């Protein structure tokens, strides 16, 4: 596990948390990323335009990439773990650096958008969004030699993002939120389908492919999720997110606070701070009887990026469930049964949802709400877990280990 503190990179053993390596970079680290085989790790220092690469097998070996006056705004590994792609300031070009041959390749006209680079899951191909002559284009590259495979224009006004299906056969391309449009292209650049749900209103906010590539979920500003199938690319259903749950078959778990049953003063803890953390206000889930009214926040209409619509959505690894969050009902997570295409569970939290992520091995969802607890849901039920740490802190985000045996938490300590 890698973490950084200012200019230091710390590598720990996941099981024991023992420090294995400690590296010192030239400046404050702003981004870190493992290579696909976990043999190398890159540290990007955007302010200095520098990337440093460290080897775990050979601690004395290191690599420094300096983009110079071109600057640096993004850096990532290629799927083979031996090439680094650096995006220069103003998105003038992408520089491909080879760690093996020390060769350099350049790709011009990358588009400045939220998600402009996408690799297929098998690592064979890369799709790149481009902008030239006031038009959007997609270039497909072969990752083994960075040769251009296909180049085609897209029917978008202002392309916002691209994402491959997990099987690598279809590329989803979606437009700016000002126009509802998603386009699906094959590997040879053919337009398979175009989907538009409505016009003259804010459009797509988020998308997610199912792990099987059979479904594409599209989250929109109209507080709905639309599911497209992989055969006809037509909508098979849409999931609404109303503020009142009325279906008696939907289970609504409501987080409620409960006072600790043990008096802290009677405990002989060596450190009172740890005791106060362990036995602070705890919470549990109650099952609410429908109808249930969820906390609804009315968005401010005259501001940019309104807090409305489906901002987060993710499929479970077994394709059975879809978790969603409607940004103007910030305290709720909606879990949908994909086999029955129905709402299965709603979790109503006391705080706003900061992050959620599925266990990569089973249908188990971890949730954090910016407090000191982690919430876990599975088809068997849900539980609130107090993290045993001293002092006041907030859990801002979380990440599962690939085995599903542990979760890393990003914590903000309060003074």
Could you read off the pLDDT of 206-234 as tens digits, one per residue?
Answer: 999 999 999 999 999 999 999 999 999 99
Per-residue model confidence (pLDDT) at position 267: 45
Cβ-contact 411, 394 below 8 angstroms: yes
DSSP-assigned states of every residue in 324-356: EEETTSTTEEEEEETTTTEEEEEEE-SS---EE
pLDDT for res 279: 52
Cα–Cα dist 66/44, whole Å: 10
Residue 270: what pLDDT?
44
Which of these, 63, 75, 33, 68, lies nearest to 49 by C-alpha position?
68
Confidence at residue 317, expressed as pLDDT on a 0 to 100 scale? 98
The C-alpha atoms of residue 354 and residue 369 are separated, in whole angstroms, by: 5
Averaged pLDDT in 10-residue chunks for the chain of 415 residues: 96 96 97 97 97 95 95 97 97 96 95 96 98 96 95 96 98 96 96 97 96 98 97 97 96 89 47 48 91 93 84 98 97 98 98 98 97 97 93 94 95 83
Residue entry with tokens 């876990």:
376
What per-residue confidence (pLDDT) applies to 227?
A: 98
Q: What is the pTM of this model?
A: 0.93
Task: Report the distance separating Cα 141 and Cα 82, nearest Å.
Answer: 16
pLDDT of residue 266: 46
Whether 138 and 127 have beta carbons less than 8 Å apart is answered as yes
Instruction: Please list, in sequence order, all residues whose beta carbon lies within 8 angstroms of the beta carbon of residue 103, skipping any fewer than 6 positions away.
Output: 97
How far apart, in whole angstroms, are the C-alpha atoms of residue 24 and residue 4? 10
pLDDT for position 271: 45
| Cα 325 to the center of its chain, rounded Å | 13
């Amino acid at each position: 596990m890698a973490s950084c503190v200012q200019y230091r990179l710390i590598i720990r053993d996941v099981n024991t948390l023992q420090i294995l390596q400690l590296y010192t970079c030239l400046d404050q680290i702003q981004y870190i990323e493992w290579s696909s085989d976990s043999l190398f790790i890159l540290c990007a220092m955007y302010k200095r335009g520098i990337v440093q690469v460290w080897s775990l097998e050979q601690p004395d070996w290191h690599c420094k990439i300096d983009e110079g006056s071109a600057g640096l705004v993004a850096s990532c590994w290629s799927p083979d773990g031996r090439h680094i792609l650096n995006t220069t300031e103003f998105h003038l070009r992408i520089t491909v650096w080879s760690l093996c041959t020390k060769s350099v390749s350049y790709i011009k006209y990358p588009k400045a958008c939220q998600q402009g680079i996408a690799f297929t899951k098998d690592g064979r191909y890369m799709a790149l969004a481009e902008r030239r002559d006031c038009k959007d284009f997609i270039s497909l590259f072969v990752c083994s030699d960075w040769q251009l495979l296909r180049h085609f224009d897209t029917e978008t006004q202002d392309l916002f993002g691209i994402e491959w299906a997990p099987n690598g056969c279809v590329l989803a391309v979606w437009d700016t939120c000002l126009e509802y449009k998603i386009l699906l292209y094959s590997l040879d650049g053919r337009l398979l389908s175009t989907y538009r749900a409505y016009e003259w209103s804010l459009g797509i906010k988020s998308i997610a492919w199912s792990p099987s590539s059979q479904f594409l979920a599209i989250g929109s500003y109209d507080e709905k999720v639309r599911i497209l199938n992989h055969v006809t690319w037509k909508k098979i259903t849409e999931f609404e997110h109303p503020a009142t749950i009325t279906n008696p078959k939907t289970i609504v778990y409501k987080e409620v606070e409960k006072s600790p049953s043990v008096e802290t003063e009677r405990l002989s803890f060596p450190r009172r701070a740890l005791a106060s953390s362990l036995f602070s206000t705890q919470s549990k889930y109650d099952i609410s009887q429908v109808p249930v009214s969820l906390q609804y926040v009315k968005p401010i209409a005259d501001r940019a990026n309104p807090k409305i619509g489906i901002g987060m959505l993710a499929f479970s690894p077994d394709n059975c469930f879809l978790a969603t969050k409607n940004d103007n009902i910030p305290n709720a997570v909606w879990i949908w049964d994909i086999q029955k295409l129905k709402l299965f569970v709603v979790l109503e939290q006391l705080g706003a949802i900061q992050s959620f992520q599925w266990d990569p091995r089973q249908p188990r969802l971890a949730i954090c709400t910016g407090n000191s607890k982690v919430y876990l849901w599975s088809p068997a039920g849900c539980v609130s877990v107090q993290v045993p740490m001293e002092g006041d802190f907030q859990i801002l985000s979380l990440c599962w280990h690939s085995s599903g045996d542990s979760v890393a938490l990003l914590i903000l300590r309060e003074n």
